[in-house]
Amino acid sequence: AQKITQTQPGMFVQEKEAVTLDCTYDTSDQSYGLFWYKQPSSGEMIFLIYQGSYDEQNATEGRYSLNFQKARKSANLVISASQLGDSAMYFCAMRERTQGGSEKLVFGKGTKLTVNP
Amino acid sequence: DTGVSQDPRHKITKRGQNVTFRCDPISEHNRLYWYRQTLGQGPEFLTYFQNEAQLEKSRLLSDRFSAERPKGSFSTLEIQRTEQGDSAMYLCASSDGTGGRGYGYTFGSGTRLTVV
């Protein structure tokens, strides 16, 4: 079963408008973390925002905010005032414990965001 | 702090050849991860090192794959007898495991492997 689901393969937004990228997750752990990364065509994974499962307030980082709804197991990324440079792939990921006691990131399939001028 | 460096950025190889990739993590990070990303997918975990010890290996890491991290510094990922299915982006990440912004994970720019 998928642990991170991103249901939007592609999204379009007009420059200067806000956009929401959806992410739902599945875990039975009480302690976990959720990340959003941006991956431009160059390939690097750029950290955007992090939300811990015990954080009571939604995380914000500049134009990025995370709409965390724990009961619904959703962690949507909101980008305000979109810019042309925001066009990229966006990945939601969850930090989870491995059987060996370490941890790893589990990623969704991503959403391709295109910002139109 | 120059971030996580990966070398080479691109590699084209013929099927059956061996290839080796290198990752230089952030110097004070004791944790190092390798991920593989195929076209249209998110990265998938391959293996994890804490210092020089390889503590976790995914079932994706077949016998043809081997990873090392001598002295707990840089790491290498070798693929023997490459197959076309090995074509992917290989990403390295490091962290200090202490939390903080982004929980300390920093990714490199990746090595894009094409097997022809």
Q: Token pair for residue A83?
A: 């810019």
The shortest C-alpha distance from B99 to chain A (Å) reads 10
Distance between CA atoms of B43 and A110, rounded to whole angstroms? 10
Q: What is the pLDDT along chain A (117 residues), one digit of tens a residue?
A: 569 999 999 999 999 999 999 999 999 888 889 999 999 998 889 999 999 999 889 999 999 999 999 999 999 999 999 999 999 999 999 988 887 778 889 999 999 999 999
Four-point Cα dihedral A43, B48, A105, A63, nearest 10: -50
As a three-state string, the secondary structure of chain A is CCCEECCCCEEEEECCCCEEECCEECCCCCCCEEEEEEECCCCCCEEEEEEECCCCCCCEECCEEEEEECCCCEEEEEECCCCHHHCEEEEEEEEEECCCCCEEEEECCCEEEEEEC
Size of interface A-B (CB pairs under 8 A): 63
| Cβ pair A102:B50 closer than 8 A | yes
Would an 8 Å CB–CB cutoff place A41 in contact with chain B? no
> Is A106 part of the contact surface with chain B (CB cutoff 8 Å)?
yes
Look at residue A1 in the predicted model and tell me its pLDDT.
Answer: 55
